[in-house]
Amino acid sequence: MQLQLKAETIERKKRNSWRKIVQQRYLLLMSLPFVVWLFIFHYLPLWGWTMAFQRYRPGRSFFEQDWVGFTNFVQLFSDERFYLVLRNTVAMSFMALIVGYTVPIIFALLLNEIRLITFKRTMQTISYLPHFVSWVIVAGIVTKMLSTEGGPINELLMALNIIDQPIQFMAKGEWFWWIVTLSDMWKETGWNSIIFLAAIAGIDPEQYEAATVDGAGRFRRMWHVTLPGIRPTIFIMLILSIGWLMSIGFEKQFLLGNPMVQDYAEVIDLYVLNYGINLGRYSYGTAIGIFNSLVSITLLLSSNYIFKRLTKESVI
Amino acid sequence: MPVGVGKGVSDRIFDVFLYTFMILVGIVTLYPFLNVLAISFNNSTDTIRGGIHIWPRMFTLDNYRTIFQYDLLLTAFGNSVLRTILGTAIGVFSSSMLAYVISRRDFIYRRQVSILFAITLYVSGGLIPFYMLMRDMNLLGTFAIYILPGIINAWNVFVIRSYMDGLPPSLQESARIDGANDLRIFWSVILPLCKPVLATIALFIAVGQWNAWFDTYLFNSSKEHLTTLQYEMMKILSNTSASQSADAFRSGDVDAATRVSPESIRMAITIVATVPILIVYPFMQRYFVRGLTLGAVKS
């Protein structure tokens, strides 16, 4: 009796879902092409991870490849160059995290203190400008600004008598991290401050009035009203930035780097490009890619876990 | 907004610092662009003397005339324009269609589809598997490789969806009662209402397409007819920065025109590669500020 009932409900559910599928045929047709596309362009490459466990040779089918287990990973971890590349990646990631996260907050706080609305608007528009310019062009601009032949930075430093000979900025390895970080700051500060400005705009103006009545000056209002008001946004952005920590990419390093600073400029993705694709060591390159993905997923999940513990909300 | 009561001395000092600081930020941001602009309008031989800041010393349009005579640059410009227009149109249409489907609470596979797309925000196969896939699909050396892999970006889909979530459901209901199917509702009821968010997404996609150079470098660098403006910029740049020596500038083959480019010519190309987007973005400001906020809150 009981069983029969159960079978009947299952039967009815099946019929219902069929009816629903027929009913929603348009919705299904509207999404199907994109799901197929997604599998091809995003999930098939994951299948390519198997290459890391092979000694991949082009022109052979999947079943004809030699399986080598973790050999590629062992080789990776015993490669000195890999540690150098890892150091560069971690260093520039942390610098990007710290600068790219704090400077926009400070910038948003300061912008908010400007009372001339037109001036404020103009400043905002100007500050978004570099975001829309490609890294190719920004790299060109940075190289030009730092050039030894009439570069404005060198000219300025000379005019101020701080140096008496132009500095070859682009040839100094130990300065490369700073050049990348500061270029990034120049390009993205305005853009990254948008989110904080929007959060500030959402603060109840009465809070400022109350603080003023209590005799709070400008700094105290910034400290006691504005900052606490945007705390949730600050938190979320921090978690997100930590999650993206290892995904700094390689564009800046590729475009700003040159053979003279290679030991400081090569990051994981560039290493994959140079050793994996250009030298045809596909399996080895894939192994590096997997390592990078695992590190970023771990970072993302752990930062999300901490965030959950703190605020009972999830970012993912 | 802070209230301007009780303007004390410390307040005034703060203001002085604040405005000075902001003006400095403005100069640091704008100077490089104005400098590039000035040099691009300056006589190229005169530029070598140096000392040009934000105003050309010997005004000329020759640099622009010269660059528009290079066939390679014209091809590059055409390809960049084409990929930007096609990529944006296809991208906006696809993202909004998918966003509509997963915004429908009654859609049976809503959860599954959303999750499948969300995963791609965090996991990717990496450069090499992606490269091999493109090779196996015979997409290397084709124009399609500029468009196909980037049709949909999950982030954009979620931004559009959260905008659609805010639309009143009654509109869809009444359209359904009138007998419209889902495709019709999407096209003639939902899309027109989404203009602000679609403008934002269009801007994001267009900027990405216009500024892309790596796909040309990786997949199409041997195909001259598929070159793009940013890739040509990148080649010019790496040639000038890598070879300070004079003889590298003296070579006379096919793209010698760009290789030997004096500074003024390079700056004119920079302007051509930058200006289209710079003209558009100030007008879109209102939209993208809203779009960004939506994205951060909802995902």
- Between positions 162 and 221 of A, the ones with CB within 8 A of B are 170, 186, 190, 194-195, 197-198, 205, 208-209, 212, 217-219, 221
**pLDDT over threshold 50, residue B249:** no
Residue B296 is predicted with a pLDDT of: 57
Nearest neighbour of A289 by CB, restricted to B3, B128, B148: B128
In chain B, residues with a C-beta closer than 8 Å to the C-beta of A129 are: 29-30, 33, 278, 281
CB pair distance less than 8 Å for B108 and A115? no
Residue B4 is predicted with a pLDDT of: 47
CB pair distance less than 8 Å for B132 and A282? yes
Residue B242 is predicted with a pLDDT of: 45
**pLDDT over threshold 90, residue B226:** yes
Secondary structure element (H or E) that encloses residue A55, with its range: strand A54-55
CA distance between the termini of chain A: 45
Q: For residue B130, give Cα distances in angstroms to A41, A251, A277.
A: 8, 17, 11
Question: Percentage of residues in chain B with pLDDT exceeding 70?
Answer: 88
**pLDDT over threshold 90, residue B137:** yes
Residue B5 — pLDDT band, cuts 50, 70, 90? very low
For range B102-129, the mean pLDDT: 89
CATH for A73-311, options being 1.10.3720.10, 3.40.640.10, 3.90.1150.10, 3.40.50.300: 1.10.3720.10
Residue A312 is predicted with a pLDDT of: 67
Residue A316 is predicted with a pLDDT of: 56
**pLDDT over threshold 90, residue B147:** yes
CA pseudo-torsion sign B280, B226, B132, A282:
negative
Query: What is the DSSP code string of B14-41?
Result: HHHHHHHHHHHHHHHHHHHHHHHHHHHT
Please identify which residue in the block is written with the tokens 């489907």.
Answer: B101
CB pair distance less than 8 Å for A258 and B278? no
Q: By the 8 A CB rule, do A45 and B126 touch? A: yes
For range A102-120, the mean pLDDT: 94
Q: By the 8 A CB rule, do A108 and A197 touch? A: yes
Please identify which residue in the block is written with the tokens 């996609």.
Answer: B205
CB pair distance less than 8 Å for A34 and B183? no
ipTM of this complex prediction, to 2 decimal places: 0.87
Q: By the 8 A CB rule, do B272 and B67 touch? A: yes
Strand-pair partners of A205: none
CB pair distance less than 8 Å for B98 and A31? yes
Instruction: Report how far residue B83's alpha carbon sits from residue B135's, in angstroms, rounded to the nearest whole number.
Output: 20
In chain A, residues with a C-beta closer than 8 Å to the C-beta of B138 are: none
Residue B248 — pLDDT band, cuts 50, 70, 90? very low
Considering chain A, what is the average pLDDT of its residues? Answer: 87
Residue A69 is predicted with a pLDDT of: 84
Residue A39 DSSP class: I
Query: What is the DSSP code string of B193-256?
Result: HTHHHHHHHHHHHHHHHHH--HHHHHHSTT-GGG--HHHHHHHHHHHHHH--SGGGGG--STTH
A310 versus B107: the higher-pLDDT residue is B107
Domain limits, CATH 1.10.3720.10, in chain A: 73-311
CB pair distance less than 8 Å for A30 and B186? yes
pLDDT tens, position by position, B50-89: 788 889 998 989 889 888 888 899 999 999 999 999 999 9
Maximum average pLDDT range among A30-34, A281-285, A306-310, B123-127: A30-34
Q: Does A224 touch chain B (CB under 8 A)?
A: no
Closest CA to A228 of A257, A255, A190, A202: A202
In chain A, residues with a C-beta closer than 8 Å to the C-beta of B106 are: 24
In chain A, residues with a C-beta closer than 8 Å to the C-beta of B183 are: 26, 29-30
What is the identity of the amino acid at B188?
Answer: S
Residue B109 DSSP class: T
Residue A67's φ and ψ, nearest 5 degrees, are -90, 130
Q: Residues, chain B, total?
A: 299
Residue A161 is predicted with a pLDDT of: 86
A151 versus B152: the higher-pLDDT residue is B152
Closest CA to B229 of B43, B84, B64: B84
Closest CA to A171 of A145, A136, A137, A143: A143
- Could you state, in order of their start, the residue ranges of all structural domains in chain B? 1-60, 67-223+271-298
Query: Exposed, middle or buried by CB within 10 Å (0-12, 13-18, 19+), for B72?
Result: middle
Instruction: Report how far residue B256's alpha carbon sits from residue A103's, in angstroms, rounded to the nearest whole number.
Output: 43
Q: Does A314 touch chain B (CB under 8 A)?
A: no
Nearest neighbour of A21 by CB, restricted to B108, B128, B270: B108
Q: Does A290 touch chain B (CB under 8 A)?
A: yes
In chain B, residues with a C-beta closer than 8 Å to the C-beta of A145 are: 32
Instruction: Report how far residue B220's alpha carbon sits from residue A136's, in angstroms, rounded to the nearest whole number.
Output: 17
CB pair distance less than 8 Å for B129 and A289? yes
Kindly report the CA angle at B55 between B53 and B60, in degrees rounded to 5?
120
Q: By the 8 A CB rule, do B96 and B198 touch? A: yes
Lowest-pLDDT choice from B65-79, B175-189, B238-252, B271-285:
B238-252
Residue B247 — pLDDT band, cuts 50, 70, 90? very low
How far is B265 from chain A, CA to nearest CA, in Å? 13
Residue B295 — pLDDT band, cuts 50, 70, 90? low
Closest CA to B91 of B138, B184, B155, B141: B155
CATH for B67-223+271-298, options being 1.10.3720.10, 3.40.50.1370, 3.40.1520.20, 3.30.1600.10: 1.10.3720.10
Residue B33 is predicted with a pLDDT of: 94
pLDDT tens, position by position, A137-193: 999 999 989 988 878 888 889 989 888 888 888 888 889 999 999 999 999 999 999
